[in-house]
Amino acid sequence: MKTTLRFTVMLLGLASLPGLAREQPMPSTLATSLSCQPPSSAPAATASQDLFDQYSWQMFIALNWPAQNGQRGDPDCSKQPGDPGYTVWQTYKTVEEIFLPQGANPGPWNTRQAAKSLGIINIAALKNSSQVNAVDQAVGGWLIDQAGNPTYYDISANETSYNYIVANSFYNADVVSKANNINFPYGVIEVKSSWRILTTRDNASRYLTMLARVATFDDQGQRTGVTEAYLGLVGLHIITKANGYPQWIWSTFEQIDNVPPKVLVNGVWVDQPTSGTAYSYFNSTAPAATLNQSPCDWQTQGAHLVCVPKPGTTFQTPNPLNRFTPIAEVTNGVNTQYRTDPDLQRSVLKYYQLITTQRPLMPDNPSNPLGQPTPALSANVTMESYIQPNSSCMNCHSMATPVKSPYKSDYSYLFKFANAPVGKTIKDEE
């Protein structure tokens, strides 16, 4: 049975005035809903930003609904946000489960879920690890929080995406590298998440948490082993291929204690830290020149560029961050609406905020295949940490290809994780 909790928010009627619709936080009268099911459709391409931001929040709530026991990707609508157990998106198939060693078939969707294991510390570099001169790689690098611990990442896909990959044998690197027709069906959802290790200084009640095995590293960033850690979610990309949007819709959320908010003072954006808040990636005493800087001294090793800590630093040296593009007023209005909703007050979701929703303004314009990304910039400080001034999810993903392939992969970097069959590598095909 579908559970839907509804409330109505009344705001001033300024948004109905000509020329002001996209400048105000919300329309004059708006009914929104908290539901265990994701929205059945996306707003029209010409809809205002607040409607897309509501779409993002509705998707965020539905994907963070408690999942049914034994049913991957399905919500338990008898429960409420904040109830114990994995959320819906946490039961999606991870890249580790989709792309098995030696390009093996990963089997049916609803397999038993194994213990969580996170080993990725550098999404930006990993995406283009086969392309030595790739722009993403040169500006990527790991992210160390203010406690001196690495940020970990995971990528997962829903059942629609998984079934498409399996039906086409795209889990096999040899197959997908030759595919010139990758085109996911509508209804696909991909999720990228970022996590940090919670310490005794952190208030764990402000995070979506999980126990997981994580990779350990030496002071030069070389893997040394595996340990179990208590993790808190700090960032979440939700990527949906909604009907009518061949360029997908891109929603990015962060935990509110990553970096402080900004306020406009005399025409200048300034940080406004909350007293008593220990920000995970912000250091108020850090020189401005050190903010949002890659930790890497890139060195060529074989066919790849490898990140080596810059002189005077180690893998434990914090990388101070700040938000380059302030959250838009309209998006902050939607954040306030949802974060203060009474039905979310017992859930950690109230400690998360939408950064922006990027989508194509003209998805069907043949003269502009990218569809004019709107807004032009989209950056999560935990995932696009060092490229915020130029970060666009749509622009970046429009260049996605499988490993060693000239063919585009429909805005998905999933296939960078595909493995070759026994006794064969993608290099054999060059």
pLDDT at 352 (0 to 100): 98
pLDDT at 59 (0 to 100): 98
CB 378 within 8 A of CB 355: yes
- Once rounded to an integer, what is the mean pLDDT over residues 328-355? 96
**Confidence bin at 122 (pLDDT 50/70/90):** confident
Query: Which one is predicted more confidently, 140 or 9?
Result: 140
pLDDT surpasses 70 at 318: yes
**Confidence bin at 386 (pLDDT 50/70/90):** very high
pLDDT surpasses 50 at 3: no
pLDDT surpasses 90 at 227: yes
pLDDT surpasses 60 at 19: no
**Other CB atoms closer than 10 Å to residue 209's CB: what's the count?**
16
Read off the amino acid at residue 264: L
Share of the chain above pLDDT 90, in %: 78
pLDDT at 298 (0 to 100): 86
The pTM for the full model equals: 0.89
Q: What is the pLDDT of residues 132-168, one digit of tens each?
A: 333 333 358 999 999 999 999 999 999 999 999 999 9
pLDDT surpasses 90 at 116: yes
Residue bearing tokens 């800590």: 309
Output the six-digit token pair for 369.
């295949």
pLDDT at 231 (0 to 100): 98
**Confidence bin at 424 (pLDDT 50/70/90):** low
Mean pLDDT of all residues belonging to the chain? 88
Output the six-digit token pair for 20.
């002001």
Distance (Å) of CA 83 to CA 86, 138, 215, 347: 9, 42, 29, 8
- Once rounded to an integer, what is the mean pLDDT over residues 32-37? 80
Find the helix or strand (DSSP H, E) in which 243 lies: none
Q: Which residues contact 133 (CB under 8 A, 6 or more apart)?
A: none
Q: What is the pLDDT of residues 177-222, one digit of tens each?
A: 999 999 999 999 999 999 999 999 999 999 999 999 999 999 999 9
- The four Cα atoms 76, 80, 81, 83 give a dihedral, to 10 degrees, of -80
